[in-house]
Chain A
Amino acid sequence: DIQMTQSPSSVSASVGDRVTITCRASQSISSRLAWYQQKPGKAPKFLISAASSFQGGVPSRFSGSGSGTDFTLTISSLQPEDFATYYCQQANSFPLTFGGGTKVEIK
């Protein structure tokens, strides 16, 4: 199985801050990685894929990058509605696996 490791597990930030979340795969997954946002009590929401080739209608402040084993999700200017938990997911092979999540909290 491909293990997905996210860091940090939580981050405290202020509105307007630039936030970067990283996800590392235990083996190469090409660019087959997606990012999701989940707010408390809600279903996850598809944000963006690694190379931003697939997007879930999210604001342009969200961007994804990376290939191989190392990936990043960047929020260029954090907004109040962005406080949530973010998950990465690899789609290179079964079982499809998710990272453990990164909680973005208000500073």
Chain B
Amino acid sequence: EVQLVESGGGLIQPGGSLRLSCAASGFTVSSNYMSWVRQAPGKGLECVSVIYGGGSTYYADSVKGRFTISRDNSKNTLFLQMNSLRPEDTAMYYCARTLSSGWLFFDSWGQGTLVSVSS
């Protein structure tokens, strides 16, 4: 059974940093595309980052230069390093297994971890 469990969220001041983790089971992170999708309170969904199986990465303009997606193959875990956080980054952050190139659909999701950026 595919399972994704996020952690690392919390309350952080503007300009601060957080590192989100997503522990996967039931499949191999390094063999799959993986993504981070966020949802601001009461709002819609935004894909902020994707890492391809080969290691290439994509970032939404809203986070480019501030967020870094990575993975630890030995721990089967996905990460999102978030620096220079802004109030508009406040959201639930979901990790999602992503189907292959050309069909970048999010077929399995974690339960999410909440990031609140406020002074």
Contacts and interface: CB of A to CB of B under 8 A. Distances in A.
Interface of A: 32, 34, 36, 42-46, 49, 54, 56, 87, 89, 91, 94-101
Nearest to B110: A43
B102 A32 contact: yes
Interface stretch (B9-17, B39-47, B76-84): B39-47
Interface of B: 37, 44-47, 50, 58, 60-61, 94, 99, 102-112
Contacts of B94: 43-44
Given A54-B99, A94-B58, A95-B61, A46 B107 contact: yes
23 contacts: A34-B106, A43-B94, A43-B109, A44-B45, A44-B94, A44-B109, A46-B106, A46-B107, A46-B108, A46-B109, A49-B105, A89-B45, A91-B102, A91-B104, A91-B105, A94-B58, A95-B61, A96-B50, A98-B44, A98-B45, A99-B44, A100-B44, A101-B44
Contacts of B107: 46, 54, 56
Contacts of A54: 99, 103, 105, 107
- Main secondary structure on chain A at its contact with chain B? loop
Given A44-B45, A89-B106, A99-B44, 4 more contacts: A94-B58, A95-B61, A98-B46, A100-B44
Contacts of A98: 44-47
A44 B106 contact: yes
B37 to A, nearest CB: 8
A20 B47 CA distance: 25
Residue with the highest number of chain A CB atoms closer than 10 Å, among B61, B103, B105, B110: B105
Contacts of B58: 94
A89 to B, nearest CB: 7
